[in-house]
Copies of this chain bind each other. A is one copy, B any other.
Amino acid sequence: MQRAIQPHRVVVVGGGFGGLEVTRALHRAPIHITLIDRRNFHLFQPLLYQVATGSLSPANIAAPLRSVLRRQRNCTVLLGEVGGVDPRRHRLVLDDDELPFDTLVLAAGATHSYFGRSEWATAAPGLKTLEDAIDIRRRIYVAFETAERESDPLRREHLLTFVIIGGGPTGTELAGALAEICRYTLRRDFRVIRPRDARIILLDAGERLLPSYSPRTSEQTSRTLRNLGVQVGVGCKVLHVDATGVDVATPDGRFFIHAETVLWAAGVEATPLGRKIAAALTLDVDPAGRLPVLPDLSLPGYPDIFAIGDMAHCRDERGSPLPGLAPVAQQQGRHVARLIRNRCKGQTKAAPFRYANRGTMATVGRGVAAAQVGNYTSFGFFAWLLWLFVHLLQIVQFQNRVLVLLQWSWSYITWNRSARLITNMHPVERRHQRAHQLDQHAGGQQRESIGRTARL
């Protein structure tokens, strides 16, 4: 009788695009994988803005990790919080436990970055988790509801001003979706306010929207958004954000924009876990909190610990950092899985990771998207169909693909958004928040003397 060999133990932290891909790519390997995540589901982040604007339900873009991996018998899923790592003992430290590993893959992703101004987070929530999306959805629809009941025309205007900070794909997509809500979805829903009078302002500190695309695409995107009624302000640096609005430095001077709903889409950084682990391993993170990696994606000095996705600071052949996109994380995941399989077979030679850029895409509005595949760019309906197709295929569970397609078709035909529920709101809380805003509002009025009220 042969003695059973203890299988190689791989621990994967994070069930996002990167972590799930590592796990799945080790499907048939004689390896035991433990996938640990703080949430019990894989989230399809590219469609998070559709939950935030009430087009899709949370469950449509989330798939329970256990359900996704139920047939992969060499994998255990754990719901848990990772506290750190003990590299010498090869152990991952959990909130109330420890997990031994032979190989560790860090794929815990990113959170929003306020560039050191974390006090802005309350006034300008970012969009990274399902709870963020539900919170933003509530803020948007509560703003309309409060405006409908507000008798002061000035405050009504402030309630119907929405500022989105950050002109990357998330900001652009949010602005486009918000404009459509005001113009079409809510058109007949109110009796006092006219939702199409709402102002949607998209601010970016850079020279153009969607900087990772061609300048022509940026121009087309701006034009499309402007046609939808979005006020696009590029070269606008945000100086301050609070519950009453945004203080902006523009090429034309300094403005204060009164707005009760401000959304943050300006920057991301690695989760705090990255810094903790870097400290434990005496490594230095980059300014965005990402871990340094060798060309094979292992951490310097720790050949058994890998970092992938938004947690890794990785550069392409030309030395520019890789973007925080799902395909990057997925390709890195497959790369690390291949490496682990090879090591188990005794092959220690590690090939460097190379990102194969198959293109990027962003929707701008109903039936319009921007796509960039190598040097080929496409803007308009065809790119939108491509976007639709690619995103539907990527959604993890087949049921969700069908549900999302159905809801999209429905929204496209009826212009409606059915998932616009205001949940987790206590009316008393709302009243307090409102009183608080009114107080701050008085403060904001004074501040106006510094600049002038913006009409970008």
A interface list, Cβ under 8 A from B: 38-41, 57-60, 62-64, 66-67, 70-71, 76-81, 95-97, 130-131, 134, 141-142, 145-146, 148-149, 186, 188-192, 397, 399-400, 402-403, 406-407, 410, 414, 416, 418-424, 427-428, 431, 434
Contact = CB atoms under 8 A, between A and B. Distances in A.
For the complex of A and B, the 3 pairs showing the least CB-CB separation, nearest first, are A59-B419, A57-B57, A66-B189
Given A418-B399, A423-B130, A431-B95, A145 B40 contact: yes
Given A95-B427, A431-B81, A64 B145 contact: no
A414 B400 CA distance: 13
Query: How many monomers of this protein are in the complex?
Result: 2
Contacts of A142: 79
A424 B130 CA distance: 9
Contacts of A149: 78-80, 97
A410 B59 CA distance: 14
Given A70-B189, A423-B131, A410 B399 contact: yes
Contacts of A71: 188
A41 B421 contact: yes
A66 B420 CA distance: 10
Contact of A418 (B70, B141, B397, B431): B397
A420 B57 contact: no
A374 to B, nearest CB: 36
Given A39-B422, A58-B58, A399-B407, 20 more contacts: A40-B420, A40-B422, A41-B421, A57-B57, A57-B58, A57-B419, A58-B423, A63-B418, A64-B189, A64-B418, A66-B189, A67-B416, A70-B189, A71-B188, A79-B145, A79-B422, A80-B427, A81-B428, A95-B427, A402-B410
A135 to B, nearest CB: 10
A96 B434 CA distance: 11
B190 A418 contact: no
Nearest to A82: B427
Contacts of A57: 57-60, 419
A456 to B, nearest CB: 29
B79 A420 contact: no
B131 A420 contact: no
Contacts of A399: 407, 410, 414, 416, 418
11 contacts: A38-B427, A40-B141, A59-B421, A67-B416, A79-B142, A79-B422, A97-B149, A130-B423, A131-B423, A406-B406, A424-B424
A427 B130 contact: no
Contacts of A188: 70-71
Contacts of A410: 399, 402
